[in-house]
Chains A and B, each alone.
Chain A
Amino acid sequence: MSARVSLALAAFGALALLAALWLGPTPLGNVFAADEATRTIVWEIRFPRALAAWVVGAALGLTGAALQGLLRNPLADAGVLGVSGFAALGAVLAFAFGVAALAPLGAIVFAFGAAMLVTALGWRTRGPASLVLIGVGLSSLAGGLIALALNLAPNPGALADLVNWTLGSVEGRSLQDVALAGGLLIFGAALIFAAGRGLQALTLGEEAAAAIGADLSRTRMLVVLGAAACAGGATAIAGVIGFVGVAAPHLLRPFVGHDPARLLLPSALAGGAIVVCADLAVRLIPTDTELKLGVAAALVGGPVFALIAARLASRGGDA
């Protein structure tokens, strides 16, 4: 079942990418036409942007599924837990100190630090609510520090850059950006997939998992590093885009079941397709200034998150 769902999601993602080449504010008859204008629009603007959206979504979907498995908590996700917020802080600090080239590195290093911190704090929490509260705390701290950076921004230009970053967008991204996030996605995915069996073992709880022979330190390290690479890479090129990591595994559980290892690949593919579609939507919504992807994700994802949390609470799953 999982393989069929993955295949369907891959096909849907490919179709969404194709649609992203074709649809946009400038109508195009044939996206494969040889004229300069079409080639520029399709291959230098729309294709890198759509591909960046897919890579960012896949990274966030995979990170969400992996963190949910590790922390045994269906509300875990890089955005909710503050990992994306800290990644953004790393990038913002690089901008604020005038070393924009180091923004991706800053995002990755800060994502790693936050992932370590939230895992250490959240490892022994007894329910989704406690973990989310830890995430709220970390996100607030990251948000406060980002606000401080905005407050102290050296000039209006830098301020605009910083604000755009925190709103989350893949507008104007290049293939170099895609390569950066894509490379980190491949690296992070390799680590996370290597932790698959450990995530399955954790279904039994920490102690019973250790008793069946699972090396939980290894599982934790692989997932934390993998999630930091994926979320750091995604945030490095797109800023903060929340809720994809919560929504993707949640939407898939009815189709592929609850096995945390079997959710990884479908969640990545679903995340990619969701963000490509969301980006397509923000491009097509007729607003004077293009709606930012992170804003759209929050507008749709926020209520979805609340719904999942409410459903969990009604089943007695909160702390």
Chain B
Amino acid sequence: MSLTIENAAIELGARRVVEGASLRVAAGEIVALLGPNGAGKTSLMRAGLGLLPLAAGAARLGDTDARMLSLRERALRAAYSPQRPQAIWPLSVERLVALGRYAHGAAPDRLSPRDQTPVDAALEACALTPLRARGMDELSGGEKARAHLARALAQQAPLLVLDEPTAGLDPAQALAVADVLAAQAAAGRAVLISTHDVTLALRMAHRFVVLREGRVLAMGDAAALTPDVLQAAYGRAARIEAGRGAPYAVFD
């Protein structure tokens, strides 16, 4: 399952927040959306899934226009986790993860074996099995983030769209999330993430899309992240260093 966005324009109220943006995420790859706050990353992700209308352009999940899909069809194709995922009622971790089975017709409190298996697998993948009975209000920030990621994984959609999945996490927790996403991509899923952590993005993503004020500044592999692009995106001198294990970003 691929996600394709072509020449997207997005308006929030009277303001055009994205203009002429295109990207493609194919099966088996992780694409990282980079850019400063307000660059239009979240709007582009939401519009790509049909959660936000496009003022111009097109968004396709596979071969189908995202807007033509029913809610259920879309959820079976793409799992989405918003920037600040919520658990308004402090459900148990397992029940929150089980909400990922909604589009498969399951109620989280009455899972069939067919639904229980992917829930167990998602809990395991996110190292949450020992915490499955714990309430969401009893978790640390990192554990909460992993629970929401597990919820998205339990959806078993071939496309994962995650808006800042590592925001607010310590390096170990962020790397744990990155490892989970790398494993998902290796298993054939398409993954689109947004992040402010350029170094973490370099570690896990195959390709990068850099946004600034709603427009795509650069797109491609790590070589696309030139000092000029980073300077233009973030307004500060920056460069990518090779590093011993993986490249990393340095902001002056």
Contacts and interface: CB of A to CB of B under 8 A. Distances in A.
A125 interface: no
Interface stretch (B18-26, B78-86, B218-226): B78-86
Contact of A210 (B71, B81, B88, B99): B71
Interface in B84-126: 85-92, 95-96, 99-100, 102-103, 107-109
Contact of B51 (A207, A213, A214): A207
A262 B109 CA distance: 8
A258 B134 CA distance: 13
B75 A259 contact: no
A196 B107 contact: yes
Interface in A64-97: 72
A213 B154 CA distance: 13
A258 B86 CA distance: 14
Contact of A259 (B74, B81, B82, B109): B109
Interface residues of A, number: 24
A201 B79 CA distance: 14
B190 to A, nearest CB: 16
Interface string B209-248: 0000000000000000000000000000000000000000
A200 B103 contact: no
Nearest to B81: A208
A208 B104 CA distance: 16
Nearest to A198: B102
A61 interface: no
Contact of A257 (B51, B71, B91): B91
A201 B109 contact: no
Given A213-B102, A258-B90, A207 B82 contact: yes
B102 A212 contact: yes
Contacts of B72: 213
A96 to B, nearest CB: 41
A260 B99 contact: no
A213 B71 contact: yes
Interface of B: 46, 49, 51, 71-72, 74-76, 78-82, 85-92, 95-96, 99-100, 102-103, 107-109, 135, 151, 155
Interface of A: 2, 72, 196-197, 200-205, 207-208, 210-215, 257-262
20 contacts: A72-B88, A200-B99, A200-B108, A203-B88, A203-B89, A204-B87, A205-B82, A205-B86, A207-B82, A208-B80, A208-B82, A211-B80, A212-B102, A213-B71, A213-B103, A257-B92, A258-B89, A259-B89, A259-B109, A261-B107
